[in-house]
Amino acid sequence: IPSALIFDVDGTLAETEELHRQAFNATFAAEQLPWHWDEPLYRRLLDVTGGKERIAHFLKSGPDGAERVADRIPDLHRAKTDRYTALVAAGTALRPGVARLIREAKAAGVKLGIATTTSLPNVEALLQSSLGPDAMALFDAVGAGDVVPAKKPAPDIYLYVLDALKLPAAACVAFEDSTNGVRAARAAGLPTIVTPGLYTEGDDFPGALAVLSDLGEPDAPYRHLAGAGAG
Ligand code: XBP
Ligand code: MG
């Protein structure tokens, strides 16, 4: 049994990237910026983790209006965060098996951590809407957003969480959905289980311990065992 489970958020705990994309696009529209990130473009933009970094990267392609926002990326991103947290608060399901794994790890005395590039308010909004108002207290260490300057694929956010947990990487397991995430976790020395999602299906995950479709069933734990017994 590992000493701690450390979870990525976007794509791993829940399929949130479509809500991020929607929040970015609504923010651009409200600013009268003629930009729309469609799915294929967003898939490419996901190569750059972090919303502010993603916008800055997009500006380099020279879209109309770029000069208007070049020095206002933090403002734009704050507005995006407000939109995103409102969307998530309206209700977002965790991916299959996530809630049960969290519950059972907690019950077994396994520590829980979060290591994500996304902003802290986004993590709080997601966990509270899916696991209840006290959800943040389930986690022994939370590393999010700008708490480290170098985002994934840099190992920094995982090293930050390991330091807060006071555990060696080899005693923990990381859960990720993306190539950048696996790179970050592996560079921090963590055994890493990958559940690819909407935007990362078919990608390569070098060094992953296992690549699984999901972490189990949503609300019928052990149904597969019951089914096997019935035969
Ligand atoms: C997720 C991300 C995040 C979100 C946006 O990566 O890249 O940038 O898309 O979040 P990971 P913010 O799952 O590997 O952590 O806009 O709050 O930065
Ligand atoms: Mg992710």
Interface predicted TM-score (ipTM) of this complex, two decimals = 0.90
State the Cα–Cα distance between residues 104 and 166, nearest whole angstrom.
21
Q: Is 204 a catalytic residue?
A: no
CA distances from 85 to 70, 81, 127, 144, 206 (A): 24, 6, 11, 15, 32
Question: The whole model's pTM is what?
Answer: 0.93
Contact 81, 121 (CB under 8 A): yes
Annotated active-site residue in 8, 140, 156, 177: 8
Write the pLDDT tens digit of every residue in 194-205: 999 999 999 999
Q: Of 1, 22, 43, give the one whose Cα is nearest residue 179.
A: 43
- What is the pLDDT at residue 227? 41
- What is the pLDDT at residue 91? 84
Is the pLDDT at 213 greater than 60? The verdict is yes
Is the pLDDT at 230 greater than 80? The verdict is no
CA of 224 to the centre of ligand 1 (A): 34
Q: Is 214 a catalytic residue?
A: no
- What is the pLDDT at residue 143? 98
CA of 180 to the centre of ligand 2 (A): 8
Q: Phi/psi at 16 (nearest 5 deg)?
A: -100, -10
Q: Which ligand is nearest to the CA of 46?
A: 1
Nearest CA to ligand 1 atom 14: 181
Domains of the chain: 4-15+92-226 (3.40.50.1000), 17-89 (1.10.150.240)
